[in-house]
């Protein structure tokens, strides 16, 4: 026999997840860059960022524990810009997800503002490593230039008790 009991407003408390956003800048030493990346600077936005245009260029970063999502923030470009990314698989034989960083409406790369190029939902119970590659774009010559301004990592702090009402479900086999 399965007995299910519901408790409403049990002591006026509920269990939630508090979250904080950790910003990992492009210059953070936790990000490992392959040869071919260079540090650049936009005068218009006063932003320092990393940029690469070789197809052998990649980066990797081990994300903080309890990370529930990561957003890759960079600059869209007028020309080819194709990102290949994967989690927890460090060789190029992995199935890559792709994000197109090109925007044909941009007329001057120096005047663009930063934007989120892709976001990945993560299992917070596992620590993850993000791998990002510069891959050929849909340009006729396949040229691609990628960049990174920062990573925004949503880190959950499980088990925070806050005031409020909630429902508790208790199941017991009798």
Summarised one tens digit per residue, pLDDT across range 105-147 is 888 877 788 899 999 999 999 999 999 999 999 888 999 999 9
Local structure of residue 96 (DSSP, 8 states): P
Query: Under a CB-based contact definition with an 8 Å cutoff, are residues 99 and 85 in contact?
Result: yes
Q: Which regions of 11-143 does DSSP assign to beta strands (E)?
A: 13-25, 31-33, 38-42, 47-52, 58-62, 67-75, 82-87, 97-100, 114-121, 129-134
Angle at the Cα of 119 from the Cα atoms of 125 and 48, rounded to 5 degrees: 115
User: What pLDDT score does 109 carry?
Assistant: 76
Query: Under a CB-based contact definition with an 8 Å cutoff, are residues 82 and 100 in contact?
Result: yes
User: What pLDDT score does 107 carry?
Assistant: 84
Query: What is the model's pTM?
Result: 0.79
Dihedral pair phi/psi, residue 110, rounded to 5°: -70, -15
Stretches in the chain below the pLDDT threshold 50:
1-15, 160-174
Angle at the Cα of 122 from the Cα atoms of 98 and 36, rounded to 5 degrees: 45
Dihedral pair phi/psi, residue 35, rounded to 5°: -60, 145
Dihedral pair phi/psi, residue 151, rounded to 5°: -115, 135
CATH code: domain 15-161 is: 2.60.120.260
User: What pLDDT score does 96 carry?
Assistant: 92
């Amino acid at each position: 026999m399965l007995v299910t009991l519901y408790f409403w407003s049990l002591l006026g408390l509920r269990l939630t997840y508090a979250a904080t956003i950790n910003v990992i800048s492009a210059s953070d030493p936790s990000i490992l860059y392959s040869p071919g990346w260079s540090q650049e600077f936009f005068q218009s936005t006063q932003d320092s960022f990393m940029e690469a245009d070789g197809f052998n260029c990649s980066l990797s970063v081990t994300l903080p524990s309890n990370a529930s999502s990561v957003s890759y923030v960079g600059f869209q470009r007028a020309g080819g810009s194709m990102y290949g990314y994967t989690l927890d698989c460090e060789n190029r034989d992995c199935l890559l997800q792709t994000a197109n960083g090109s925007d044909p409406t941009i007329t001057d790369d120096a005047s663009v503002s930063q934007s989120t190029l892709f976001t990945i939902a993560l299992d917070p119970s596992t620590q993850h490593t993000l791998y990002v590659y510069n891959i050929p774009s849909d340009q006729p010559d396949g040229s691609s230039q990628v960049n990174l301004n920062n990573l925004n990592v949503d880190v959950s702090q499980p088990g925070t008790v806050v005031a409020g009402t909630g429902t508790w479900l208790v199941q017991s086999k009798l």
